[in-house]
Structure 1
Amino acid sequence: MIRCIIVEDEELAQEVIRRHLERISSFELVGVYRTASEAREALKQSEVDLMFLDIRLPGMSGLSFLSTLPDPPLVILTTAYAEYALESYEFNVIDYLLKPISFDRFSKALQKVDAGRLLSRLPDTPGEDFMFVKSGGKFFRVNFAEVIYIQGMRDYLKIVAEGYTVVTLQTMGDMEKQLPSGRFIRVHRSYIVSISRIRSIYGNSVTLAKGEIPIGLVYKEAVMKLVSSPGSRPSS
């Protein structure tokens, strides 16, 4: 059972999310809160797997609240304002739902939560050289050495590897946690690349065998540190 809380100051929006959750048996609503301070206390006192978080809250905004949490649960943002979508990507949230929230759109967001939790229950635990990803109802083994880059495409990720491509329903944040440190680097909000596959770095782009990947402003410092590290320099 996935334990959920709603952090929302509008009663109508609370009720809509509550009704949607009641239609999905694997999710349990354990609390509804109007402010960030109330939600913070709830997170301290009980185990929460998923938080439906409104962006505009009284006192402290949802995004400000999220930035203060050292170990937040999975988060689905809810709002009536589309202009916050870009900013929300920086917080590695599961999804971003615009009000009014239809059940179809709501259920698609929860499928992402299920996909992430299913990965952690696989009987064959991924080792140092591979991971499993879910695609089309199946779990595919992906060898890290074969991955060239990973691209975020709104609700999905595209894993481009040597000889094959896998599309999976995950967030970039969840994927970063699965990848071994020191072998991959995030160079853009929408791209993670294999360090061993980098042929050159010039200006604001990384050249791979499969073409060029842009370097985002937020990630450029990390990329330049990679260049300056003797043991990690890409081959020319």
Structure 2
Amino acid sequence: MATAAAHPATSLSARVDAADWPALAAELDVYGSALTTRPVLSSAECRAVAALYDEPGRFRSTVDMARHRFGSGQYRYFAYPVPAPVRALRAAFYPRLLPIARDWAARLRQPAPWPDTLDEWLAMCHAAGQNRPTPILLRYGAGDWNALHRDLYGDLVFPLQVVIGLDVPGEDYTGGEFLMTEQRPRAQSRGSSTTLLQGHALVFTTRDRPVRSARGWSAGPMRHGVSTVRGGRRHTLGLVFHDAA
């Protein structure tokens, strides 16, 4: 399997900016998710972020998925201040996702409360009582999986989020594909799966996407999860852009 190539000395923001955003936006419109064609983290950077999992002092909480019947495996929410690479990625993705979020809101005739900067948006979340950080590091071993769900933590929601693969599929682990299901009106749900290459970023909808209908546009509800890991260990970094109540 392909691994993340070494990056030149470019900032994380520049790497995110270099993604083909018109193509990603078009793919998001059709499928509700879109994978970058190039990595935003090098192999070494991925390993360094994954290694943070073993530093519990960096996190505000640890969730055992089996205990809560969310699936099987573990994840940890970073505490503020989040590590510099995670903070930089969150700040870099937000302005790129913002035009898509506003376009979707306009099509669905919904409010678009998101300001121009991530700091302003997080300040709004905190003022509304959503002041717990949501960047997340997930670890799955053999037999682990994540049930289909949505990451909604309060009334203020950003409609897109990002997950970055930190390990090499086919080498570090097998199975563990990223799953999405779309609930279609008066029809069976439709599913999709994506293999997360190391260092690549998958942008996906938090809750729903605009779907063309006879009356214009309607919201197509979507959920995401992870298929069973068949062997090895899988780490991912999740970037949610609204904080939690």
Q: Name the TM-score, length of structure 2 as normaliser.
A: 0.25
Structure (1 or 2) with the larger CA radius of gyration:
1
Q: Which one scores higher on RCO, CA 8 angstroms, separation ≥ 6?
A: 2
Q: Name the TM-score, length of structure 1 as normaliser.
A: 0.26
Structure with a larger share of its residues in helix? 1
